[in-house]
Amino acid sequence: MSGQPIAIGQREKMFNPCMNNYATGDGRRFWIVGLEVDRHWPPLCRAVGKTSGWITRGSPTRGHAPSTAVELIGELDQIFATKTLDEWGRDLRR
């Protein structure tokens, strides 16, 4: 759909940062399945406390380069490592 090749097996290089798996601070992993980037990215930004600049930065449908998604995945990796899976489960349900 996006015209970009899918990076199978390379979660760090996926085009959509809200369609990926992440490790939490307790070493457990979870999936975020936000297929509709423009719909799911803003709530994810709010859940991780990154609204300023992130909402427009993470929307591939608005012409952002795949390298932006790679940067955001790296930053999300660091953010999700700060809490346990149970803590993120609570925060993401809000």
**What pLDDT band is residue 37 in, cutting at 50, 70 and 90?**
confident
- As to burial, measured by CB atoms within 10 angstroms (0-12 exposed, 13-18 middle, 19+ buried), residue 65 is exposed
Q: What confidence tens digit (pLDDT) does each residue in 48-84 have? A: 999 878 887 766 555 556 678 888 999 999 999 999 9
Q: Which pLDDT does position 31 carry in this prediction?
A: 93
68, 80, 84: which is closest to 13 by C-alpha? Answer: 68
Specify the pTM: 0.81
Domains along the sequence of the chain with CATH: 13-92 (3.30.1540)
